Amino acid sequence: MMQTRLSLLLGSLSAALVAFALTSPRVVAADKVDPVADAKAFRNYFFQKFPDVKHEDFVNGPYSMNADMKRQWQEKEEFPPYEFALDAGKEMFATPFKNGKTYADCFPNGGIGVRQNYPYFDEKEGKVVTLELALNRCREANGEQPYSYVKDEMASLTAYMAFTSRGKPMDVRIPDDPRALAAFENGKRYFYTRRGQLNFSCASCHVQSPGERIRAEILAPALGILNAMPIYRSEWSGMGTISRRFVTCNSQTRAVPLEPQSDEYRDVEYFLSYVANGLPISGPGARP
């Protein structure tokens, strides 16, 4: 029964993906990477698909799609389930390393209110640098062991840094560098490529079917999906980072997950963050 539902869903998703691709300026100029045009088409797709949703509400994921869930979420926000991580992250951020320095020494503006600028393209390294990667590099540069990228300490640190940026618009830049353009395009390609036993892409759920259910989960729109990270999920009974979300999505489609902070995951984070430019940071968040 489940396999039949999935087959029917795949058919409708394929048709929707073709329709979306045909409206994208990238089809007209397939030999030229144009992030500005791609971002405009991406945002307009969601704005037109959900005309009753306020643009800034897309960052609230499934709660922007369902009025009952939104009311429950607003009530839950009075005593948010991620509060423990937020408190822990704030304390960790201020606690000196063994050499006396802190995370503030590694980031612009002391690391406060900078979440909206990540990930960024490091022109010296020639690769995308995410906030999670920057935090572990900060630790290693100060003689500390790196944290797991998927939960616990990393989730707490990014929760605190996201909280200090709440309300600030996502502001990810793509420099005039062919390597940066390639990273953006690689992230876009990964996002739309089908994989795994279910033959799903990231877009299969989060572009064509936001607001619909797969099993007990209401699918979130891809637009602004990373603005709410890290998130507390009931199914995890804890916090998860962007890395954890990517790994989990691959597992759910029965694909082989990549290593956290692999080039592909960093590039897809770059793509999804750039197309969400202008939408507010809302993390840390909570999801069912």
Residues in a beta bridge with 213: 218
249 is an active site residue: yes
According to the annotation, is 55 in a ligand binding site?
Answer: no
Instruction: Give CA–CA dist 27/30, Å, rounded.
Output: 5
According to the annotation, is 138 in a ligand binding site?
Answer: yes
According to the annotation, is 206 in a ligand binding site?
Answer: yes
The CB-based long-range contact list for 145-154 (8 Å cut-off, 24+ gap) reads 149/241, 149/243, 149/244, 149/260, 149/261, 150/240, 150/241, 150/243, 150/244, 150/247, 150/260, 151/236, 151/238, 151/239, 151/240, 151/241, 151/244, 152/238, 152/239, 153/88, 153/92, 154/241, 154/243
Residue 251: enclosing H or E segment and its boundaries? Answer: helix 242-252
According to the annotation, is 266 in a ligand binding site?
Answer: no
3-state secondary structure 115-146: HHHCCEEECCCCEEECHHHHHHHHHHHCCCCC
According to the annotation, is 106 in a ligand binding site?
Answer: yes
According to the annotation, is 244 in a ligand binding site?
Answer: no
Could you say which of 69, 104, 249, 258 is catalytic? 249
Residues making up the annotated binding site for heme c are: 106, 138, 202, 205-206, 249
Residues making up the annotated binding site are: 106, 138, 202, 205-206, 245, 249
Q: Which residues are catalytic?
A: 249
Residues making up the annotated binding site for substrate are: 245
